[in-house]
Amino acid sequence: MTAPDSDPTTDPEALRRRAEKALRTARDRTHTLTTCVDEPDLTAQHSPLMSPLVWDLAHIGNQEEQWLLRAVGGRDALRPEIDSIYDAFEHPRAERPTLPLLAPAEARGYVHEVRGRVLDVLERIELRGAPLVDAGFAFGMIAQHEQQHDETMLITHQLRRGPAALTAPPPPDTADGAALPEEVLVPGGPFTMGTSAEPWALDNERPAHHRLVPAFHIDTTPVTNGAYQRFIADGGYTERRWWTADGWAYIQEHGLAAPLFWRREGGQWLRRRFGVTEPVPPEEPVVHVSWYEADAYARWAGRRLPTEEEWEKAARHDPESGRSRRYPWGDEDPTPVHANLGQRHLRPAAAGSYPLGASPLGVRQLIGDVWEWTSSDFLPYPGFRAFPYREYSEVFFGPAHKVLRGGSFAVDEVACRGTFRNWDLPVRRQIFAGFRTARDAS
């Protein structure tokens, strides 16, 4: 991919190859996630928080048809009668199993037919002349959409009861976390937040604008399971003073006393991870905690969650040049030496891993491993413009949703960059979310 300061439309054939690769990579992952279990597991609803896997599969195809075949390619609709069935805003997840969904074989045939026609459109269309096609934006948007649903399906696999269906090697054992400083000072001053040049950036990442951020300290690595266990042992879930009013009410109502999927047995903490029960590894970043839990831990530690602008400055700002990078390590696309992405591993890497992915100031694992809760509400940037539809970002703006940054081991690189913004309700625990803490420099 080109650096952000260059013109991404100068090589249309390279853009075409990039778009095709992103689409094929996403489809290969979708295939893995929907062929590793039998049909009953595809059609079942494993949690009211999630859709049946077969709904996600056909929804992926339907969105691809609507945007790439109809809107971009000008083709006639293949299956207009299913548009409403796979409209995520028309049908909440809890009611989707009651809909007349395509059966697994029919859904596979549908997404296969759509993809064949999409590749034909991609081969013929000019990737310039309109915002939807400039630099292949719509193709990148759909590749990101599919990867986001792949992450959603991976969450469903984590919630599914039964034997393991997915396997992956452990992350590389290269951590030197014990030797790292606990925190890093990020100097105060202006920096450029967001982007106006990243060709496949989504609307809520735009436009680039200046922020003045006072100096602050931020954790060198995400908070670990071991550190979180100390919070639990010190009465973290029983001390009202660490919690917001809403957070305290929530954990009391649901009887929460540990991260999701943890249990105490025989004097040790165990977790269930994709069908395998194992001891909780103390050196890994904690995952499956809500915003309420992350915020309570930070208060207990005498710290706070970083704001969204603090997180992005720690991840992108280069103090020497004064510019904002695409990623902590620079402008080049992620590789396996930079970050734990793309479901290569089914767990976070140990805190301190990926030294080649560190920011200029030495902050590690800002990309990949776990989504990181911030203290910020999900709000538009100055000059925000919804594109290409309001329902992607605009309808979620407001204090109900908190911003997460950085991606997780379940995120593909096409849907993860230094400007990428995720958001969710503060109660959410099934997502692959952890956090790191911060404090004022003064």
Task: Answer yes or no: is 46 a known binding residue.
Answer: no
Task: Answer yes or no: is 106 a known binding residue.
Answer: no
Task: Answer yes or no: is 428 a known binding residue.
Answer: yes
DSSP string, 288-350: S--HHHHHHHHHHTT-BPPPHHHHHHHHHB-TTT-PBPSBTTBSSPP-TTT---TTSSSSPPP
**354: which residues sit within 8 A by CB, 6+ positions away?**
174, 337, 338, 339, 340, 364, 365, 368
Task: Answer yes or no: is 358 a known binding residue.
Answer: no
Task: Answer yes or no: is 157 a known binding residue.
Answer: no
Alpha-carbon torsion, ordered 41, 85, 423, 22, to 10 deg? 80
Contact present, 335 and 1 (Cβ < 8 Å): no
Task: Answer yes or no: is 314 a known binding residue.
Answer: no
DSSP 434: E
**398: which residues sit within 8 A by CB, 6+ positions away?**
377, 378, 379
Residue 406: name the closest of 203, 301, 354, 395 by CA.
354
Beta-bridge mates of residue 372: 405, 434
Residue 138's identity, in one-letter code, is A
Task: Answer yes or no: is 317 a known binding residue.
Answer: no
Map residue 271 onto helix, strand or coil: strand
DSSP string, 387-409: -S-TTTTGGG-EEEEEEEES--T
Task: Answer yes or no: is 96 a known binding residue.
Answer: yes
Annotated binding site for Fe cation: 59, 145, 149
Annotated binding site: 59, 93-96, 145, 149, 424, 428
Annotated binding site for gamma-L-glutamyl-L-cysteine: 93-96, 424, 428
